[in-house]
Amino acid sequence: MNSGDTAWVLVCAALVMLMTPGLALFYGGMVRSRGVLNMLMMSLASLGLVGVLWVLYGYSGAFGSDLGGVGLLGSPLEFFGLSRLVGAEDTSDTIPTFAFVAFQAMFAILTVALISGAVADRARFGPWVLFAGLWASLVYFPVAHWVFAFDTTNESGEITAVGGWIANRLAAIDFAGGTAVHINAGAAALALVLVLGPRTGWPRGTGKPHNLPLVVLGAGLLWFGWFGFNAGSALTAGTTAAVVFVNTLVGASAAMLAWMLVERVRHGKPTTLGAVSGIVAGLVAITPACSAVTPLGAIAIGAAAGAGCALAVELKSRLRFDDSLDVVGVHLVGGLIGTLLVGFFASESAPAGVAGIFYGGGADQLWRQAVGAVAVFVYSLVLSWLIAWLLQRTIGFRLDERGEHVGIDETEHAETGYHFGDAGSTLRGSAAGERGSVEELEGSVR
């Protein structure tokens, strides 16, 4: 056991965990004030439900022994409840299995939460929770197996345990989840928008972000946590992690500048929401690429993602789909940009050691990247659409118009985000007790 590596991976797991509350605030600040709580709740629900499912059978489905050796799914009940792992002799000379379990748990949780931004203000909460559970089980756990489960080999290089097909057979480079996390979530977001339709009144009158400082805070926490997400994916604390760390910094920095520039040119002024959107776009794009490029390559990919997503998010009103907080425009588009640009900017001197088109490699890596991206996109889109459609047909996924009109926080959660004044509401009888005894109580103040 290496205590330095273990410390590193555990800290990174905590950092990635923080991304989900960060994302909740990032999204929450962007909706109108009477929908902020539902937006927060969709992410929180993922922390609750996917956290438990991961322990029950998610880890096993993603990293259990490959079923049939075809690289499509791990055996979901092998490590049910992680019971077989507790107390098992762990002779790894790097990190304990449980550290890896924890780290990967946070990825599953975050990916589900990412989707929620597409359906602001109109998804009933119960069906959302069901969707989250089904989607994690049927889409995320398998795809994580494809992308993150590496073959195990013995000293002589023979494969002793088969991993996922994208990671091993295809050998696409996706260091920290450009396909498994961002393209995956982006495709699911698109499916949800197609099934649920736009908010009533959209695009007029669905409101502006109600709390931009909250959005900035969320973005700050996301960036902070993303260092764990990317550099933690090295699973050891060494040069690879350090290079990835620097790339994660400059990728986001460059994307922020690029997005602000696009705004400056097209609309005259760089905005706060633009700047933080640029940060996220850059982080998304550098995620698959961070181990494969030099810092200059990271700047290029970041800038491409910042500019590309800034243009992409303006398309939704033209294409007429209400991807409310731009999950498609930022995560799907950004994920594609990053995944594909690996084929161009990969440098042999970077930790991954693969050369892309601009660094003297051929188009070989590019098509691997493209195949991986398309496979995840199609799988996720189809499955997500089916799950959402089924829920809509059976129990009804979409909030009714009255609920939307009144506000989803009140309808689904019986709460209001903010009460800056204090007039106008009184506690109901039952909880208040009879009046007399209250006054009795007040008398007891010494």
Partner 1 sequence: MKLLTAVVQQHKVDEVRNSLAELGVRGMTIADVQGYGRQRGHTEIYRGAEYEVDVVEKTRIEVLVDDTDADAVLRAVVSSARSGRVGDGKVWVTPVESVVRVRTGETGDQAV
Binding mask 284-323 for partner 1 (x = CB under 8 A): --------------------------x--xx--x------
Q: How far apart are the first and last CA of the chain?
A: 59
Q: Does 435 engage in binding with partner 1 (CB under 8 A)?
A: no
Closest CB to partner 1 among residues 265, 395: 265
Please choose, out of 163-171, 266-274, 290-298, 344-352, the segment that lies near partner 1 by the rule CB under 8 A: 266-274
Sites for partner 1 among residues 141-170 (CB under 8 A): none
CB 21 within 8 A of CB 198: no
As measured in angstroms, the least distance from the Cβ of 392 to partner 1 is 26
* Burial of 213: CB neighbours in 10 Å, binned 0-12, 13-18, 19+: exposed
- Phi, psi dihedrals of residue 152, rounded to the nearest 5°: -100, 135
User: Which of 137, 136, 180 has the alpha carbon at shortest distance from 375?
Assistant: 180
Among 134, 169, 197, 374, binds a copy of itself (CB under 8 A): 197
Report DSSP state, residue 159.
Answer: E
Please choose, out of 149-157, 164-172, 255-263, 371-379, the segment that lies near a copy of itself by the rule CB under 8 A: 255-263
Please choose, out of 43-51, 66-74, 149-157, 183-191, the segment that lies near a copy of itself by the rule CB under 8 A: 43-51
Sites for a copy of itself among residues 298-317 (CB under 8 A): 299, 314, 317
CB 67 within 8 A of CB 75: yes
Among 276, 290, 355, 387, binds a copy of itself (CB under 8 A): 276
Closest CB to a copy of itself among residues 237, 340: 237
Q: Does 266 engage in binding with partner 1 (CB under 8 A)?
A: yes
CB 245 within 8 A of CB 238: no
Q: Number of C-alpha atoms within 13 angstroms, CB side, residue 100?
A: 19
Contacts of 214 (CB under 8 A, 6+ apart): 25, 26, 28, 29
Sites for a copy of itself among residues 213-252 (CB under 8 A): 213-214, 216-217, 219-221, 223-224, 227-228, 231, 236-239, 241-243, 245-246, 249-250, 252
Contacts of 137 (CB under 8 A, 6+ apart): 53, 57, 58, 61
Sites for partner 1 among residues 355-414 (CB under 8 A): 405-406, 410, 414
Report how far apart, in Å, the C-alpha atoms of 93 and of each of 4, 6, 235 are. 11, 10, 12
Q: Number of C-alpha atoms within 13 angstroms, CB side, residue 432?
A: 9
Six-digit token string for 135: 């989607």
Six-digit token string for 363: 């188009």
Number of residues that bind a copy of itself (CB under 8 A): 149
Rounded to an integer, what distance in angstroms lies between the CA atom of residue 123 and that of residue 116? 9
CA dihedral 18, 23, 24, 25 (to 10 degrees): 90
Please choose, out of 82-90, 110-118, 159-167, 324-332, the segment that lies near a copy of itself by the rule CB under 8 A: 82-90
Sites for a copy of itself among residues 135-154 (CB under 8 A): none
As measured in angstroms, the least distance from the Cβ of 358 to partner 1 is 30
Footprint of partner 1 (CB under 8 A): 203, 205, 208-209, 263, 266-267, 269, 271, 273-274, 277, 310, 313-314, 317, 326, 405-406, 410, 414-416, 421-428, 430-431
